[in-house]
Amino acid sequence: MKKILLLTLCTLSAIDVYAQPKAIGGTVADQKGLPLPGVNVVVVGTAPRGTSTDFDGKYSIRASKGEKLRFTYVGYEAVVVTVGEKEVLNITMTPAKNQLSELVVTAFGVKRQQKALGYGVSEVSADDIEKSGERNVVEALAAKAAGVQVIGSGGTPGASSKIIIRGKKSISLGSDPLIIVDGVRVNNATVQSKAGDYAYNKNLEGVNASNRLLDLNSDDIQNVSILKGPAAAALYGEGAGNGVIIYTTKSGKKRKGIGIDFRTSTELATVSKLPKLQHTYAAGTGGQFKAAADPGPDKLYNTKDDVSEGTSDSWGPRAAEAGIPLYDNTDNFFQTGVTQSYDLALSGGSEKTTFRLSVGRTEQEGIIPNSELKRTSIRLTGDTDLSDNLKMGATATYSYTGGTKVQNGSNLSGIMLDLLTTPASYDLRDYVDPATGFQKTYRASHDNPYYSAYADPFTDEVNRTLGSAYITYTPKDWFHSTLRSGWDVYSDNRRQVYAISSVGDDNSSGKGQVNYDRILNKEFNVNLILSGAVPLIGEDILNLNYTTGLDINASFYDEVFSRGRNLAVQGIYSLGNASELYASNYKSKKIDRGIYAQAELDWKDQLFVTASGREDEASSYDKKPFYPAVSLAWVASNSFDLPAWVSFAKLRYGYSESGLSPAPYSNKTFYTASNIAGGYTQGLSFPYMKRSGMGISSGLGDPDLEPERLLGHEAGLELAFLQKRVTLDASYYYQTSKDVLLNIPLAASTGLETRYTNAAEIVNKGVEVDLGLGVLRNRNWNWGTHINFATNDNEVTQLADGVDQASIESAFESIGSYAIVGYPLGALFGAKWKRDKSGNLVIGSDGLPIKDPESGNIGNPAPQWTAGIQNTLRWKNISLSALLDIRKGGDIHNGTYSLLNYYGATAESAIDRGKSYTIPGVKEDGSPNDKAIDAQTYFKEYVGWSGAAEQFVQDGGWVRLREISLAYRVSDFSKSNMLNFIQYVEFSISGRNLWLDTQYKGVDPETSLTGAGSRIDGFDYFNNPGSKSFAFGLKVGF
Amino acid sequence: MKKAITILTLTTLLFYACNHELDTFNKNPNEVESVTPDVMLTVSEVATFSTQTAELAHTANIFTQHLTGNDGQYENTGRYKITEETFNNQWGILYHDAMENAFLIIDQYGADNPYYDGMAKVLMAINLSTATDLWNAVPYSDAFGGLKGNHHPKYQKQGAIYDEIQAMLGEAIADFEKSDSDNARIPGTDDLIFNGDVAKWKKIAYVLKARYALRLTQIDDKAAEKALDYINRSGISSSQDDMEAVFDGGGSSTNQWYAIQKNRANYLKMGATFINMMRAPNDPRLAFFATKDDYDGYSGSEAEEQDKDDVSNIGPALATADKNLGMVTYVEAQFIKAEAKLRTDDTGGAKTAFREAVSASVEQVTGKAADEDFIKRVTQTVDLENIIKQKYIALFGSLEPYNDWRRTGFPTLKPNSAAQTRQIPLRLITPQGERLYNPNAIVVEDLYQPVDWDDRD
C-alpha cells in the first residue's frame, strides 16, 4: 500500500497551463447551492484546453472575451457560457433528465453522485436543522432520517442527546458514531463528573451532562450527511463501526458586496408531561397524619436535636376531612423557560477569495428554576486561490458554552425525587431558613427541590476551539491532492456545590461539599487525500475515479477532580473553606494512523463498482487490521428503456468492514486504589485514613486485544416515478459485529470479576425506507411529504464460552441492562414475579405475589420501529411544515412510578383507599388466591417499589408532533427604492413537541436517566422532565 | 517537479512521524502494573472491615432480630426475601478485595515476608470462614486462579474449608514467631489494625482458631476441647488486644453502621427482641446500643413491624462516624472460654470466664466498670442458653450471634410471621455470578438448607 502511494507521487509532474489573456473563475454548484467538484471546464474553440472544479466546486481558467466555456458533469445538463467582461462566472447546473444525480457527501468529505453509491447515505439539510428549533445539533437529527435514533436525556438546558445508528453494536465501547466537521474528527463525549473514589455508576446520578457537540452552532451547518452502514464508513476504518456523521459548515460565496444574514428567535418552553399525582391525601401512614421534618433548634436536619424526620409517605388522612391544606407543588415549581438566540453571518468574496464570518449567541433559561445555558460561537471560514491549480482555506471556531445544571435522578437532592415524593400537604416554596441559610424540607433525608436548584447548582464553562486548514493542488484531472489538518481543543471547568444542610453531597452528611472538575481535551487530525478521474475506455464508456490517502488522529484527555468536604462557612465554595480534601485525576492519550485507497469504476453511467481498503495502526492495540469494502450500483433506468412514468431505477449492494478500537490501557491488568462499595452507603475507599491502598483490579486485561469488527451487507433499491414526484429509497442491511469487546464476567471466586477481551458477536438487521411524495406542485402551491421508516432487529448471538449473560453498565440491584445471548443488546433483566405453568402469579400466604428467585428478561429499550413523517405545504410565500415522530415500542423501567405508588403519591393510589385488593393468581398449593390486602399494602408491595421490577417496565412508545412551523417569507424588494438593500425577510412561528401521545405513565418517554455518556438506556428514576415549546423567529438577509 | 518532491517529502514525514507515538502512547499514566505487599495489605484489611461490619453484618443482625429491616431494600431482608443478586457485591468484596489481595500477598511475597504472610493468612481465614458460614461449600484451594487462567474454581465442602482455615492460622502463628530479620519488609502503619504488632496478631490467630473450633460443636466431639486449648494458648488478656475495624469518620473511612443510618435513615431499626432482652435486667449497655425512641424511651420493633419509624435507632456504641468496631475481641474470647469450659464440664471455670466476658463487655461498651450486682444477676445461671444469650448481647453488630443461633438455637427467636416463608434463613443463596459463570459452583437456592456445621437433627 505504502509503495503504491509513493509510486503515485513519484510519477507526478507539474505542467503549467498555457497562458491566456485573462483569468476567469467561479463556483459551480447544483440547484441547492451545493458545490460540484470535478466538473469539466473546457474552453471551446481553436485551441481546446480545460480544467476541472476542485472539492469546493471552484474553478479557474484563462480565456479571452468571446470564447465559450463548456461545463460538463456526469448526470447534469451541460452548460455553455460566453466569456464577456465579467471575470467571475458562477454556474448552476441542473440534473439531466431521467437522472437522480444529487451529490452527497461521503467519507473524507468527498462529494459523490448519489446514483454511483452502493450504499445508503441520509442527508439532513440546514433547513431541517433550523426547523427543529434545537440548539443541540444531535437532538436536531431526531426523526429526520431512517435508522437514526436520537435519545434525549431530558428537558433541562444542555442535557445530552445520544445517537444510535442502525442499532447498538458494541457492549463496552458505546454507540457514538464518529463525528466529522469539515473533514476533521470532532469530540462529542458526554462526561459525567465524579470523584475517583466513587464506587458506583456515575451516570446514575448528578446532573444531565452535555454531549459536546452542543458547542456547535446549528446556524453554521450547511448540510449533514449520515453514513449509516460500514460500506459508507469503511474508509474511516477503526473509528467508524458506529457509523459516521459528517457536518459541513457554510462557507462564503463570490458575490457583489457583503451579504448579511441575521436571525433571531425567542422560544417559550414549558414542562411537557409529568406523572399524574394525587391531590387528596396528606402525609402520613395508615390514614394517620405525620408532620413534616422538624430539625429542632439548630435548624439542621439529621442532627441530635431533630424533633422529627418527616416522611415521603402520602398514606395519611383525607386532607379535606382533616382540614389540612394541599399544595400543587409541581405546578408551583416549573416555570416557563425562555430562550433567546441571535445569529449574524457576513459573507462575501472577491474573485479569488471568499469568506464567511458568523457570530451566534444563545441564552436559554430552563423550565426548572436556576437552570440555564449560554452559548456564544464565532466562526470564520475563508478560501483563496493562490494560482490556477493551488488553493487554500481555513475555518476556525471559538465557542463558549456554559450554564447551570440541576440535580437529576437517583440522588437525595434530585429535583424530581424531592418534588414528586413530597406529600401534597407540604408547601415546598418555603425552602430556606433566612437566618441560617439552611434548607427547610419535608423529609430530613431528602432535599427540598427549590433548595437543590438554588443552593446545589452545577456550573460549567467550556471554552473550545476547533477548525481546520487545507491546501489543495490540482494540476491534472487525474491528480488532485489535498492536505488537511484540523484541531479540536476544549477545556471544561466545572463546579458542583452542595450547601451546608443539603444531603446531596457524596456522603449525605449535610456538611457541605464543593467539587471542581477540570477537563482538557485535545484532538488533532492530519489527512492527505489524493484523487483523480481517469478515463479508461473512451470518454463515456469506462471511467475510473480513485481516492487514496493517509489519516492520522491523536487525542489527549486530562481531567483533574478535586473535592472539599465539611465546609466551615455557608456559601463560600473555595477549597480553603473545606476541612477534608480529596483529589483524583485521569489522563489518557491515543494515536491512530490509517492508509486507505478507493477506486470507483463507472461503466457507461450505468454500472458503478467501488472497492476500497484501509489499514490501521493504533497505540491502544498491537494489530494492524485491514478493512475492505466493495459495493455495486446499477442504474437500471440507464440500461433499459423503462416506461415513461419510471424516472429512475437503481439497485445497489455493498459489503464492507469497519471497526471500533479499544480504549487506551485496556490490554493489561493493573493495580488500582480500590473502592469497596457498601451497598447502601458510599462504602470505603482509598486513601483510607491517609494510607494508600492498591489492590489488583477486578478486571483482567488481554494483551492480544484488537478492534471490534463490523461486517455489513447492505442491499438497496432506489426508484423515482412521475418526474420524480414519487421517490422511494429502500435498504435492507445485515450487520454482524464480531470480536466485540466485553468484560466477560468471572465468578468472583477466581479472585477477579471480569476479563476484558474480544469475544462477543451481535447481529443487527433491518429495513429502512424513505418515501418522498410531491403531492401537489404548481405555481402557487407545493405540498411535499417525506416519510422515513426503519426497523432494527438486534440480537446478541454470542458472548463467550460458558457465558450467556453480561452486564453492560451497572444500574439497579433489581433491574439492569444486559447483553444476553438470544436477546437484544441492552435488554432489561430484573426481578420477575413467580408464575405457575399457565402464567398465573403465585401468591404467598401474605396475599402478595412471590418473587422468582431468578431474574429474567423483562423488556427491551430499543424500539421495534421508528418513523418520521414530514409534511411541507407552501402557498406562495407562506410555508407550513410539520414533523410527526413515531416510535413503536421501546421499554422503559419506570422507577419513578414504582416509588410514587409506594409512597401513595400517584393519582391511581388515591382512587379508592378503602378498597381491599385480592391479587389475581394462585396460592402455592395451586388454588386461587383469596387473601385480601389493603390499599397501602397493595400499592407498596405489589405495584410499588417493593414489587418485582417487571411490574414497572412500561411501553415507552410514542406518537408526537415533534415540529410544526409556519413561515412567511418576502424576498421581492427589488422594486422598492427604499428597501432594495434587503434580500429577504422571513417571519416564523414554530412549536416543538406540542402534542404527545404515549402510554407511558411518567415524564416524556424521550428520556434517559444515564444520558449519552452511558451505554445503557431505558431507565427512568426521577428523570428531569422533557419540555415543549413555542418559538417566534425572524430572519433577514441583506 | 518541485511540488511533487514537496508532496512526497510531506507524505513520508507524516507517515513516519508518528511511529514513536504509536509505540509509546499506551503507557498507562493512571495505574500501575506492580505493587508492594504493604499497599495490598491495607486493601485486604479495609475490605475485611467491610465484610465484617457492613452489609453482611447488617443482614445477620436483621436475621437475629437485633435489628429490624424497616425500610428500603432492608425491608425485603426483614421479610426474608433474598435473591441471588442480593449479595453479589458482598461476595465480590470477600473474594476479590479481601481474599484475592491476601492471596497475592501470600503467593508473591509470602516466602520473603513471613509477617505479611501471616497477616494475609489471618485475613484470609476470617473472610473464608464468613463465606463458608453463609454459603457452606465454597472454593478455596482452587480459587484465586483468575490471573493464571483458572476461571472455574472447584468448590470444597465446609469440613475441608475449616481444615484449611485451621491450617492457615497455624501457619500464620508460625510466621508471627519468626524474627524481624527473617522479613524483607516489616509491616508498619500500612497495617491499620495493629500497626505491625505481630504479637497481637498471634493472639488473634489463636482466638480465631478457637472460634472456628467451637463453630463445629454440632459435628465435632472435640470442638470444645480444641477451642479451650487455643484460647489458653492465645494469651489474650484484655480488650487492648482486640482486633478492630478502624474508622476515623472521614468521607472514605466512615463507620458503616453510622453511614447506613445517615444515608438511609430508617432502613434499620432496633429489634424488639434485643431491646427487651436488655431492658428487663436494666442492662447499662442499652443506652449505648440504642438511641432514644420518639417517646424518650428505648423500644424496638417486632420482626413483623416494618415501616415503623418511631422506635430506637442504632446507638453510638456502633453507629458513630469514627467508632472502631471489634472484629475479634477479648470479650468474645472469654465467651468462647466460658462455653468451652461448660462443654468440658468445668462449670466453675465457665462461670469465671462468663463473668469476665460480661464485665469486659460492659466496661468496653459503657466505658465504666460494670456494676457487680448487674453482673451477678445476669451471669447467675451458667448454662449454654444464658451464655449464648449474653454473647448475643455483647457481640451486637457482629456476625457471630447469627452463627451461634444456628449452632445452638439460642436465643430462641420468633420468625417474622408476616414473611412468606415464616422462617429465619439458615444461610444465603449462591450469588448469581457463581451460578452463571462458574460451572463448578455448587448452587443452592434454598435459604433453608442448613450449612454442614448446622446439624439440626
pLDDT in tens, A795-846: 999 998 878 888 888 888 789 999 999 999 999 999 999 999 999 999 998 8
Q: Which of residues 735-794 of A touch B (CB under 8 A)?
A: 745-753, 755
- The closest alpha carbon to B13, from A14, A550, A10, A467, belongs to A550
Q: Is the same domain home to A657 and A806?
A: yes
Q: What's the pLDDT at A61? A: 84
pLDDT over 60 (residue A680): yes
Q: What's the pLDDT at B457? A: 63
Are the CB atoms for B151 and A750 separated by under 8 Å?
A: yes
3-state secondary structure of A734: strand
Cα-Cα-Cα-Cα dihedral sign, residues B437, B441, B443, B448 = negative
Task: Answer yes or no: do A670 and B33 touch at CB < 8 A.
Answer: yes
pLDDT digit string (tens) for A419-474?
999 999 999 999 999 999 999 999 998 999 999 999 999 999 999 999 999 999 98
Integer Cα distance of B425 and B445 in angstroms: 11
| pLDDT above 70: percentage of residues in chain B | 98
Q: Is the same domain home to A10 and A144?
A: no
DSSP state of A281: B
The answer as to whether B271 is a domain residue is: no
pLDDT digit string (tens) for B168-208?
999 999 999 999 999 999 999 999 999 999 999 999 999 99
Which residues from chain A sit within 8 angstroms of residue B28, using beta carbons?
664-665, 668, 670
Q: What's the pLDDT at A74? A: 66
pLDDT over 70 (residue A677): yes
Q: Which of residues 493-522 of A touch B (CB under 8 A)?
A: 506-509
In angstroms, what separates the C-alpha of B456 from chain A's closest C-alpha? 25
Q: What's the pLDDT at A913? A: 92
**Lowest mean pLDDT: which of A201-210, B108-117, B396-405?**
A201-210
pLDDT digit string (tens) for A895-915?
999 999 999 999 999 999 999
Residue of A14, A526, A678 with shortest CB distance to B3? A14
Q: State the cell numbers at A826.
A: 441492552
In angstroms, what separates the C-alpha of B390 from chain A's closest C-alpha? 29
Q: Which of A62, A97, A132 is the last residue of a domain?
A: A97
pLDDT digit string (tens) for A986-1005?
999 999 999 999 999 999 99
3-state helix, strand, coil in chain B (%, to 5): 55, 5, 40
Task: Answer yes or no: do B189 and A691 touch at CB < 8 A.
Answer: yes
Are the CB atoms for B174 and B201 separated by under 8 Å?
A: no
- The closest alpha carbon to A642, from A98, A8, A1007, belongs to A98
A230 - beta bridge partners?
none
pLDDT digit string (tens) for A111-164?
787 788 888 788 888 888 888 888 888 888 988 888 899 988 888 899 999 999
Confidence of residue B434 (pLDDT cuts 50, 70, 90): very high
Segment of A576-580, A988-992, B11-15, B208-212 carrying the highest mean pLDDT: B208-212
Q: State the cell numbers at A735.
A: 450487520
How far is residue A598 CA from its own chain's centroid? 29
The answer as to whether A497 is a domain residue is: yes
Average confidence score pLDDT of chain A: 89
Integer Cα distance of A879 and A783 in angstroms: 9
Task: Answer yes or no: do B25 and A481 touch at CB < 8 A.
Answer: no
Residues, chain A: 1038
Q: Domain span at residue B193?
A: 37-252+322-437
In this structure, what CATH number is given to the domain that contains residue B60?
Answer: 1.25.40.390
Q: Is the same domain home to A14 and A89?
A: yes
3-state secondary structure of A651: strand
- The closest alpha carbon to A699, from A766, A751, A634, A767, belongs to A751
**What's the mean pLDDT in A979-986?**
83
Residue of B35, B150, B254 with shortest CB distance to A750? B150
Q: Is the same domain home to A811 and A796?
A: yes
Integer Cα distance of A611 and A633 in angstroms: 12
In this structure, what CATH number is given to the domain that contains residue A17?
Answer: 2.60.40.1120
- The closest alpha carbon to B247, from A505, A519, A681, A205, belongs to A681
Q: Which of residues 299-318 of A touch B (CB under 8 A)?
A: 302, 308-309, 311, 313
Q: Which residue of B has its CA nearest to A510?
A: B262
The answer as to whether A604 is a domain residue is: yes
pLDDT over 50 (residue A8): no
| pLDDT above 90: percentage of residues in chain A | 61
pLDDT digit string (tens) for B299-347?
999 999 988 889 999 999 999 999 999 999 999 999 999 999 999 999 9
Q: Is the same domain home to A531 and A419?
A: no
Q: What's the pLDDT at A902? A: 95
Long-range contacts of B113-116 (CB under 8 A, 24+ apart): B113/B37, B113/B183, B113/B184, B113/B185, B114/B174, B114/B175, B114/B176, B114/B178, B114/B182, B114/B183, B115/B175, B115/B176, B115/B178, B115/B183, B115/B186, B115/B187, B115/B196, B115/B198, B116/B37, B116/B38, B116/B41, B116/B183, B116/B185, B116/B187
In angstroms, what separates the C-alpha of A367 from chain B's closest C-alpha? 29
Task: Answer yes or no: do B31 and A670 touch at CB < 8 A.
Answer: yes
Q: How far apart are the first and last CA of chain B?
A: 99
Integer Cα distance of A736 and A722 in angstroms: 38
Task: Answer yes or no: do B28 and A664 touch at CB < 8 A.
Answer: yes
Q: Domain span at residue A43?
A: 2-97
**What's the mean pLDDT in A667-679?**
85
The answer as to whether A639 is a domain residue is: yes
Q: State the cell numbers at B39.
A: 499497599
DSSP state of A658: E
Task: Answer yes or no: do A698 and B92 touch at CB < 8 A.
Answer: yes
Q: What's the pLDDT at A152? A: 87
Query: How many A-B residue pairs are in contact by the CB < 8 A criterion?
Result: 322
Task: Answer yes or no: do B50 and A684 touch at CB < 8 A.
Answer: yes
**Strand ranges inside B189-266, DSSP E:** 243-245
Q: What's the pLDDT at A19? A: 39
Q: What's the pLDDT at A45? A: 64
Q: Which residue of B has its CA nearest to A579?
A: B250
Which residues from chain B sit within 8 angstroms of residue A689, using beta carbons?
192, 246-248, 250, 253
In angstroms, what separates the C-alpha of A35 from chain B's closest C-alpha? 26
In this structure, what CATH number is given to the domain that contains residue A466?
Answer: 2.40.170.20
pLDDT digit string (tens) for B240-296?
999 999 999 988 899 999 999 988 889 999 999 999 999 989 999 999 999 999 899
Q: Which residue of A has its CA nearest to B438?
A: A747
The residue whose grid cell reads 497481637 is: B200
Integer Cα distance of A891 and A418 in angstroms: 25
Which residues from chain A sit within 8 angstroms of residue B30, using beta carbons?
585-588, 665
The answer as to whether A424 is a domain residue is: yes
- The closest alpha carbon to B292, from A305, A402, A390, belongs to A305
Q: Is the same domain home to A376 and A439?
A: no
Average confidence score pLDDT of chain B: 94
Q: Is the same domain home to A638 and A767?
A: yes
Q: Is the same domain home to A293 and A234?
A: no
The answer as to whether B284 is a domain residue is: no
Residue of B28, B97, B143 with shortest CB distance to A670? B28
Q: Which residue of B has its CA nearest to A804?
A: B436
Q: How does B409-440 read in b/e, with b if 16+ C-beta sit within 10 Å?
A: ebbebebbebbbbeebbbbbbbbbbbbbbbee
Report the domain count for chain A: 3
Q: State the cell numbers at A669.
A: 491488568
In angstroms, what separates the C-alpha of B40 from chain A's closest C-alpha? 5
The answer as to whether B291 is a domain residue is: no
**What's the mean pLDDT in A868-876?**
91
Task: Answer yes or no: do A745 and B93 touch at CB < 8 A.
Answer: no
Q: State the cell numbers at A945.
A: 417499589
pLDDT over 50 (residue A7): no
- The closest alpha carbon to A718, from A249, A79, A100, belongs to A100
The answer as to whether A937 is a domain residue is: no
pLDDT digit string (tens) for B120-170?
999 999 999 999 999 999 999 999 999 999 999 999 999 999 999 999 999
Q: Is the same domain home to A493 and A449?
A: no
Strands A865-875 and A40-44: unpaired
Task: Answer yes or no: do B86 and A813 touch at CB < 8 A.
Answer: yes
The answer as to whether B20 is a domain residue is: no
In angstroms, what separates the C-alpha of B356 from chain A's closest C-alpha? 33
**What's the mean pLDDT in A401-427?**
92
Task: Answer yes or no: do B146 and A752 touch at CB < 8 A.
Answer: yes
The answer as to whether B150 is a domain residue is: yes
Which residues from chain A sit within 8 angstroms of residue B58, using beta carbons?
679
How far is residue A969 CA from its own chain's centroid? 31
Report the domain count for chain B: 1
- The closest alpha carbon to B300, from B276, B318, B320, B282, belongs to B276
Confidence of residue B3 (pLDDT cuts 50, 70, 90): low
Confidence of residue A18 (pLDDT cuts 50, 70, 90): very low
Which residues from chain B sit within 8 angstroms of residue A751, using beta carbons?
95-96, 99-100, 103-104, 143-147
DSSP string, A466-523: EEEEEEEEEEETTEEEEEEEEEEEEEEEEEEEE-TT-S-STT--SS-EEEEEEEEEEE
**Lowest mean pLDDT: which of A100-114, A256-270, B401-415?**
A100-114
Q: Which residues contact B191 (CB under 8 A, 6 or more apart)?
A: B41, B42, B45, B119, B197
- The closest alpha carbon to A649, from A97, A98, A95, belongs to A98
In angstroms, what separates the C-alpha of B216 from chain A's closest C-alpha? 24
| pLDDT above 90: percentage of residues in chain B | 83
Q: Is the same domain home to A55 and A203?
A: no
Q: Is the same domain home to A398 and A448?
A: no
Task: Answer yes or no: do A6 and B8 touch at CB < 8 A.
Answer: yes
Q: What's the pLDDT at A17? A: 36
Q: Is the same domain home to A572 and A651?
A: yes
Q: How many CA atoms lie within 13 A of B135 on its CB side?
A: 30
